[in-house]
Each structure stands twice: as structure tokens, then as C-alpha cells.
Amino acid sequence: MGSYRIAVFASGTGSNFQSLVDAQASGVLGGEINLLVCDKPQAPVIQRAREAGVDMFVFQPKDYASREDYEREIALELQRRKIDLIVLAGYMRLLTSVLVEPYTGRMINIHPSLLPSFTGKNAIGQALEYGVKITGVTVHFVDQGMDTGPVIAQRAVEVVEGDDEASLTRRIQAVEKQLYPEVVSWFAAGKIRLIDRDVTMEI
Ligand code: GRF
């Protein structure tokens, strides 16, 4: 049996990408990060991929007539590499059916709130603004909506007295870095199944 092949999509800092790379290096990911897909040629995540020796597909959306056009190119690259799982890690674009349909049940995202609360951008700021006492992290399957796919795992993070965006972000990101590699390892071990909106996990 060949190894379980993962493509990570990211647009920015790439600290989640890094946690996946580190988990692979320490042998706990259960799969191989085969490709980074990045829509921002200047993003810091590119340097991380270079240092980790991960192949990259970097593109600029403005060079294409439509989202479908660049997604078709990405899809070819993913097929060529026989990618098993797409892991979105701060990829700041909605996806179309070109990628969502063939990878239904095999594409996941991490979001810094307890969904369905605080979808979209600046979820941590939205939670503080609202005044919730508990927020957290969600890993979910990707569909064509914004953070609307079936939930795979959630971890709660308490909002404490005096928290600001920076302090809460630090605690949320620390949880992300534990949870995401763990969830990816469940996929690599074949433990997660999606049937309609039902997510089941084999222990
Ligand atoms: C993370 O907080 C994640 O929850 C959200 O985007 C952020 C990406 O950060 N989807 P990074 O690029 O992994 O550092």
C-alpha cells in the first residue's frame, strides 16, 4: 500500500502548514505532505514549504479568467499526484464545484471558532465583539459555502477576563496546532467517514 498523500492549501503565514510538516517529521501524521497550493506568491508559507522540501503549485488568481479556470489546473495537479486528502490551512478563497465535487469527503478546513458561530473572516474578533465566554476551533469538511460543511471535530477555548484579540488568538492557534495534525492522522488511518451530513469516526 502506498503512502497517504496530502495537499495543503494556504494563503498566508502557514503556521498550521508548519504544524503538519512537523507532525510528519516526527512520524505522527500518518501521511505525506506532497504539495502546497498557494494563491499568493509573496506568502510566508512559501518559504516554509521550501525549507521543508515540499513541492508547490503557486498561482495568481488574476492570471485566470475565472475561479473554475485555476481550479481546473489545480485539479489536474492533484490527480497527477494521486492526492488523497486536501487540507485547507488559511486558504482565503471559496472553492467551486470543480474541486469540491471530486473531493467531497476528502477536503477539510480549520476555522477559529465553534461553528456555526462566527463564520468567515476575523472569527476571533467577532467572538470577542459578541462577548461569548467560550469559543474554540472547528475542523470540518468543505462544501461550497463559507464554513458550512459537516463538522469533524471541535475543541473549546475559554475567553478570559482581559482577553484581547492577540491573547485569544495565541490560545486558539495553540489548540489548532494540536487538533489539525491529529484529525489528519485519523484520515490517514481511514477512521473518518462522511455519509450525507453524518460524520462517523471509527475508534
Ligand atoms: C488559522 O487561524 C485558521 O484557523 C484560519 O486561518 C488561520 C491560518 O493561519 N482558517 P496560518 O496561515 O496557518 O498561520
pLDDT tens for the 203 residues of the chain, in order: 569 999 999 999 999 999 999 999 999 999 999 999 999 999 999 999 999 999 999 999 999 999 999 999 999 999 999 999 999 999 999 999 999 999 999 999 999 999 999 999 999 999 999 999 999 999 999 998 899 999 999 999 999 999 999 999 999 999 999 999 999 999 999 999 999 999 999 87
Predicted pLDDT at 1: 53
Contact 124, 166 (CB under 8 A): no
Please give the CATH architecture assigned to the domain spanning 5-197: 3-Layer(aba) Sandwich (3.40)
- How many whole angstroms separate alpha carbon 61 and alpha carbon 67? 7
Predicted pLDDT at 144: 87
Q: So which residues are the catalytic ones?
A: 111
CA of 157 to the centre of ligand 1 (A): 16
Q: For the residues of 27-80, what is the DSSP string, one character each?
A: T-S-SEEEEEEES-TT-HHHHHHHHHT-EEEE--GGGSSSHHHHHHHHHHHHHH
| Ligand 1 site, residue 89, Cβ cutoff 6 A | yes
| Ligand 1 site, residue 112, Cβ cutoff 6 A | yes
CA of 199 to the centre of ligand 1 (A): 23
| Ligand 1 site, residue 111, Cβ cutoff 6 A | yes
Of 14, 28, 150, the closest CA to residue 88 belongs to 14
Q: Pick the residue whose CA is nearest to atom 10 on ligand 1.
A: 90
Pairing of strands 32-38, 85-88: unpaired
| Ligand 1 site, residue 90, Cβ cutoff 6 A | yes
pTM: 0.96
